[in-house]
Amino acid sequence: ATSLYVSEMITSRGLVEKNPLTFQMIAFDPDEHPRSLQLYGVDPVAMGRAVRMVVERDLADHIDMNFGCPVPKVTRRGGGAALPYKRRLFEAIVRAAVANADGRPVTVKMRIGIDDERHTYLDAARRAADAGVAAVALHARTAAQRYSGTAEWSAIARLRDALPAELPVLGNGDIFCAEDALRMV
């Protein structure tokens, strides 16, 4: 069986600025492979530099860009789940990551949108697909819901239908046991 070792969510700026705490948070043991680095950021230049650093220093085998964080201290600054609402900025950040990944897979995770009036996931996922991501993950809630209410699994189906068949779509939200995962599929 193969495992995927995933870092905590870190900022691209923290990596670029060589913050010691950031490097502690992304340290993997030598026998941990494949390594996935979970990045978030609001600046395409910093994101591109961070991904280039991951490649040059061999810090991870996979970059997962987190556009799903609903925490107000992140969304108030325009990051996390709020960022796909800024379509051109979102696309620029994803393109910068993919362009600097040197063939390593880059994936994105997102939410349905900011709230019930502002759904962004279909447009954002299409932009991410056009930018060359390896997969798209959807937490089927809005940022306003955070982790409450019920995940809207039908949004995952709409996303699957909206993207090229060869692009993997991962579903997230309300999976508590194997039966839940089978029902989501």
- Find the helix or strand (DSSP H, E) in which 123 lies: helix 121-131
Average pLDDT over residues 25-51: 92
Query: Which of 26, 37, 69, 144 is labelled catalytic?
Result: 69
| The 35-40 sheet, strands edge to edge | 5-11, 35-40, 62-67, 106-111, 135-139, 169-172
pLDDT for the residue 157:
95
Report the run of H or E that residue 159 belongs to, with start and end: helix 153-162
**Alpha helices (H) along 27-120:** 44-56, 72-75, 87-100
Residue 76: per-residue pLDDT? 78
Nearest to 83 by CA among 47, 110, 58: 110
Lowest-confidence range among 76-80, 82-86, 156-160, 161-165? 76-80
Indicate the pTM of the whole model.
0.92
**Tokens of residue 119, six digits:** 């759904």
pLDDT band at 1 (very low <50, low <70, confident <90, very high): low
Predicted pLDDT at 93: 97
Enumerate the β-bridge partners of residue 113. Answer: 119
Tokens 């046991």: give the residue: 177
Tell me how far apart the alpha carbons of residues 134 and 111 are, in angstroms, rounded to a whole number.
18
Extract the tokens encoding 183.
Answer: 């029902």
Q: Which two tokens stand for residue 101?
A: 């990944």
In this prediction, residue 75 carries a pLDDT of 80
Q: Is 69 a catalytic residue?
A: yes
